[in-house]
Amino acid sequence: MFSVCTDPSVLSAPAWFACYLTTGKLMMFYGSFGVVLLLLAITAPAALLFGFAAAAAARSPFVPLSWAGKAYIAIVRGVPDIAFFLFFVIALDQGFEWVRHKIKCPDWDQPIRQGNDFVVCAAAKLPLSTSPQWVHETYGFFLAVLTFAIVFGAFAGNVLFGAMRAVPRAQMETAEAYGMSHRQTFWRILVPQMWVYALPGLSNLWMVLIKATPLLFLLGVEDIVYWARELGGAKTARFTDYPHGDWRMWYFLALLIFYLAFTKLSEVVLSRIMRRLSHGQATAAGEAQRRTAGGPA
Amino acid sequence: MKKLLLGTAALAFSAGMALASDVVRMGTEGAYPPYNFINDAGEVDGFEREMGDELCKRAELTCEWVTNDWDSIIPNLVSGNYDTIIAGMSINDEREKVIDFTQDYIPPATSSYVALSEGADLKGIVAAQTSTLQAGYITESGATLLEFSTADEIIAALKSGEADAVFFDTDYLAPIVEESGGELMFVGEQVTLGRGTGMGLRKSDTELKDKFNAAITSMKEDGTLNTMLVKWFGEGTDTY
């Protein structure tokens, strides 16, 4: 990066580190923090959406829909994450390619499964093997987002399903007595009130999600833990200008600080949201707020 | 002007289509110097990078390098995430049941024990990388095998005293022993394992295999392969 960095072996320690910390490889490490944050930023709302749909389906009066919602929650919660990541993603990817193969190459006469190989025509490849590397990386990233959303959506679904049942029945009955339809009571009474019951469970899920990102490398997405391991490993002078011993401890220490800071920040934000949601609710926290504000005992 | 632009776009597009079948994605591990590793700039480098690029040039293919975890390197080839494995993988019968190999581009390599002292117990706890020939050899040697997912971790296990010795590829270990300043040393006999290193391909990709085989043959014949072997593995390495 800097012109002095052409021969790092003669540099003093501060200059050596300045050069080392700005190599292309370290830049990729810094970039991977962005990848992880972006993944969380997309996955969290997506998982919440999956969970909300599952919970709404599970309590639907229409029985098949209710079964579908409950089955999704039960099955996905029961399968270990790592099995899900190894099996489901490859299956999903092959499913997409199979559909594209059927549409784009109807005259293909060879079998798709040839022994261990999964062979589709070149036009059905996803992404096309001619696409640049970033397309492959983006595709892998979105497969990861989708898988995380499905897995965490099931857990979120279970939390929201419980939260919906925790809303006092009397509230719903009152709404019905006012002549609101099923849809209206759901959107106007149930949904605004359930969040306060759901938030403790959802905040747990968020914390677990933050720490689940190393599963990404199973999908070929290089996350911060992959880079910390790769960079921290001992390097001999033959293959790098910056030889060093086993520095994994320092790299993992940096990750530890990052994760702790991130969970602390999340806690602060979540407790603020909780305070706002409790406002005016018929819960212990809402009642305490009312008292401190000077309301009648 | 607009027509011209459209024309160039169409031309570029059709040129892209013509090349469509010729982009080959090369899968490697990126953690196995001098075979393959990530250099300071964050790119794949090493003997296999240099040789692979030369092979692609000779076979008139456009190659793209991707890295993948060693543990899942074969499943990802088979399911089509990349087209070749070029990761210092030795040719052996067990792997040949699942994938095909080109002819070898590195002669059968030797493996060695490295330990902290001359008297280390080679029948004690020996560390090796998961799913390697060396790991298989240790299991049969009667020693207790300690497996790690990367080669770097076996050295760390030796230094921390977790393992009595490590057993791995001599070419990988040599620079590490050299630069350890006497802390690490080769002990015991060298062992030759496997039938050489080759590129792994899907069994259904016979056309690509023929292309790479032809390119490897031409590199063997004009001596460029030997020059590269000596450059990366040092004088005295086995050549063709």
For chain A, which residues make up each domain, given as ranges? 3-292
- List the beta bridge partners of residue B112: B168
- List the beta bridge partners of residue B111: B169, B191
- Listing DSSP states for A158-183 in one string gives HHHHHHHHHS-HHHHHHHHHTT--HH
Does some domain include residue B48? yes
Same-domain status, B227 and B166: no
What per-residue confidence (pLDDT) applies to A132?
Answer: 75
Same-domain status, B94 and B207: yes
Measured between alpha carbons, how far is A144 from A146 in angstroms, rounded to an integer?
5
What's chain A's Rg over C-alpha atoms? 25
Same-domain status, B103 and B200: yes
Same-domain status, B167 and B115: yes
pLDDT in tens, B1-12: 444 444 444 444
Q: Which residues contact B101 (CB under 8 A, 6 or more apart)?
A: B89, B91, B95, B198, B199, B200, B201
Between B63 and A106, where is the model more confident?
B63
Question: Measuring CA to CA, which residue among A93, A127, A123 is closest to residue A108?
Answer: A123
Instruction: Tell me the two tokens of residue B231.
Output: 């450059």
- Burial environment of residue A149 by CB neighbours within 10 A (0 to 12, 13 to 18, 19 or more): buried
Same-domain status, B98 and B29: yes
CB B169 within 8 A of CB B134: yes
Distances (CA, A) of A287 to A25, A275, A276, A281, A296: 54, 12, 13, 7, 11
Judged by CB atoms closer than 8 Å, whether chains meet at B156 and A238 is answered as no
**pTM of the complete model:** 0.77
For residue B15, what pLDDT band results from cuts at 50, 70 and 90? very low
Same-domain status, B98 and B207: yes
Judged by CB atoms closer than 8 Å, whether chains meet at A237 and B179 is answered as yes
Same-domain status, B97 and B201: yes
Instruction: Tell me the two tokens of residue A134.
Output: 């970033």
Does some domain include residue B173? yes
Measured between alpha carbons, how far is A113 from B78 in angstroms, rounded to an integer?
10
Burial profile A267-291: b = 16 or more Cβ within 10 angstroms, e = fewer: eeebeeeeeebbeebebeebeebbe
pLDDT in tens, B144-184: 999 998 888 999 999 999 999 999 999 899 889 988 888 89
CB B146 within 8 A of CB B162: yes
Structurally, how many domains does chain B consist of? 2
- Which residue bears the tokens 């790991």? B135
Chain A residues lying within 8 Å of B75, measured CB to CB: 90
User: Cα B123 vs. chain centroid, distance in angstroms?
Assistant: 28
Q: Which residues contact A129 (CB under 8 A, 6 or more apart)?
A: A122, B20, B23, B24, B25, B83
Torsional class of A132: left (φ above 0), alpha (ψ -120 to 50), beta (otherwise): beta
Judged by CB atoms closer than 8 Å, whether chains meet at A25 and B153 is answered as no
Q: What is the DSSP letter of B197?
A: B
SS3 B32: strand
- Listing DSSP states for B127-154 in one string gives EEETTSHHHHHHHHHTSEEEEESSHHHH
Measured between alpha carbons, how far is B26 from B81 in angstroms, rounded to an integer?
10
Does some domain include residue B144? yes
Same-domain status, B63 and B164: no
Does some domain include residue B143? yes
CB A107 within 8 A of CB A137: no
Chain A residues lying within 8 Å of B33, measured CB to CB: 236, 238-239
Does some domain include residue B15? no
Does some domain include residue B159? yes
- Domain span at residue B169? 110-192
Q: Read off the CATH number of the domain in which B207 is found.
A: 3.40.190.10
Write the CATH number of the domain with boundaries A3-292. Answer: 1.10.3720.10
Chain B residues lying within 8 Å of A130, measured CB to CB: 16, 19-20, 23
Chain A residues lying within 8 Å of B40, measured CB to CB: 23-25, 240-242
Distance of residue A241 Cα from the nearest chain B Cα, in angstroms: 7
Nearest to B98 among A23, A116, A133 (CB): A116
What per-residue confidence (pLDDT) applies to A2?
Answer: 64
Nearest to A230 among B21, B38, B178 (CB): B38
Question: Measuring CA to CA, which residue among B94, B62, B76, B61 is closest to residue B27?
Answer: B76
What per-residue confidence (pLDDT) applies to A89?
Answer: 78
Q: Which residues of chain A have pLDDT under 50?
A: none
Q: Which residues contact B207 (CB under 8 A, 6 or more apart)?
A: none
SS3 B234: coil
Same-domain status, B32 and B102: yes
Same-domain status, B28 and B103: yes
SS3 B25: strand
- Strands of the B84-85 sheet, one edge to the other: B62-67, B23-28, B84-85, B200-201, B100-101
Measured between alpha carbons, how far is A55 from A69 in angstroms, rounded to an integer?
7
Alpha carbon dihedral A35, A36, A39, A45, in 10-degree steps, equals -140
Judged by CB atoms closer than 8 Å, whether chains meet at A130 and B76 is answered as no
Same-domain status, B202 and B180: no
Chain B residues lying within 8 Å of A122, measured CB to CB: 20-21
Does some domain include residue B4? no
ipTM for the predicted complex: 0.72
What per-residue confidence (pLDDT) applies to A297?
Answer: 67
Judged by CB atoms closer than 8 Å, whether chains meet at A130 and B19 is answered as yes
Angle at A228 between CA A223 and CA A231, to 5 degrees: 120
Query: Mean pLDDT lowest for which of A80-84, B43-47, B187-191?
Result: A80-84
Same-domain status, B145 and B202: no
- List the beta bridge partners of residue B101: B200
Residue type, A176: E
